[in-house]
Structure 1
Amino acid sequence: MRHKNKVRILGRSHAHRKAMFANMVTSLFEHERIITTREKGKELKIISEKLITRAKKNLLIPDSEPEKKLHNKREVFKFIKNRDVVKKLFEDIAPRFKERNGGYTRMYLIGQRQGDAAEMAIVELVERKPKAEPVKEDNKKK
């Protein structure tokens, strides 16, 4: 019986799952949108929302208590190993969600994968920055 077992095993060992979700969360925060399977996406939402909430707590801590801010960053560094992504999380992503109480990510189902018919989904941050449009220049010869 699986009563009260909330962890999705996903056919992987504990270490493999931990590394896989660390990579997925890093990619989500870096690109703000990823494509994955439905079950991985459900677990990814839970993990990423906890990390965003941890980063948001830093916004409420006064500057007179830098040790608490450092503690929050170190807790996130336990999971995300990329320094640039952690910096983006604390300085760019967390302030965007300052007024929002949870629900930082959304998941769209996009159908089945061709090879094995696995349900695929897009997981993205709710308040994404729009991509900068490339500037089109007229290269006409005069």
Structure 2
Amino acid sequence: MKSLAQALTLREKIKTTEAKAKELAPFFAKQVTRAKAGSLAAKRSLSAIFSQAVVKKLVDEVAPRHKDRKGGYTRIIKLGQRKSDGARLVIIELVK
């Protein structure tokens, strides 16, 4: 989850399987809610999970963009199935 959340924060849109995206959404929502607090304790708890670049982007860009939202920071768009193994693919992206 950590690497998917980092990729989503840095790129703001990633392509993954449906199961991984459904697991990622609540994990990422919890981290954005924590970043919205903006306190030193929140930054330190985020830095225990993510790299400094990701924490900086979460606190400085993503959290202020969602300051009026209570949740629902991500959107899942279904793409279809992968040919090789039939896994359902989706795009998970940040809501602007």
Shorter-chain-normalised TM-score: which range? over 0.9
User: Where does residue 65 of structure 2 map in the other structure?
Assistant: 96
Instruction: Identify which of 8, 23, 28 aligns with 1:43.
Output: 23
Q: Which has the higher strand share?
A: 2
Question: Match for residue 12 of structure 2?
Answer: 32
C-alpha RMSD of the superposition: 0.8
Shift of 1:39: 0.5
Q: Distance in 1 between matches of 2:81 and 2:10?
A: 25
What is the 5 A alignment of 1:44-83?
44-58=24-38, 69-80=39-50, 82-83=51-52
Measured after TM superposition, the shift of residue 125 of structure 1 is 0.2
**So what's the TM-score if we normalise by structure 1?**
0.66
What stretches of structure 1 of length at least 5 have no aligned partner? 1-20, 59-68, 128-142
Q: Percent identity?
A: 43
Shift in Å, 1:100: 1.1
Runs (4+) of structure 1 exceeding 2 A deviation are: none
Higher relative contact order (CA 8 A, sep 6+): 2
Question: Which residue is 1:139 aligned to?
Answer: none
1:33-87 Cα shifts (integer Å, max 9, x gaps) = 00000000001101100000001122xxxxxxxxxx221011112221x211110
Q: Which residue of 1 aligns with 2:94?
A: 125
Structure 2, unaligned runs of 5 or more: none
Larger radius of gyration: 1
Q: Which residue matches 1:105?
A: 74
SS at structure 2 position matched to 1:98: coil
Length-normalised TM-score, structure 2: 0.96
Distance 2:87 2:68 in 1: 36
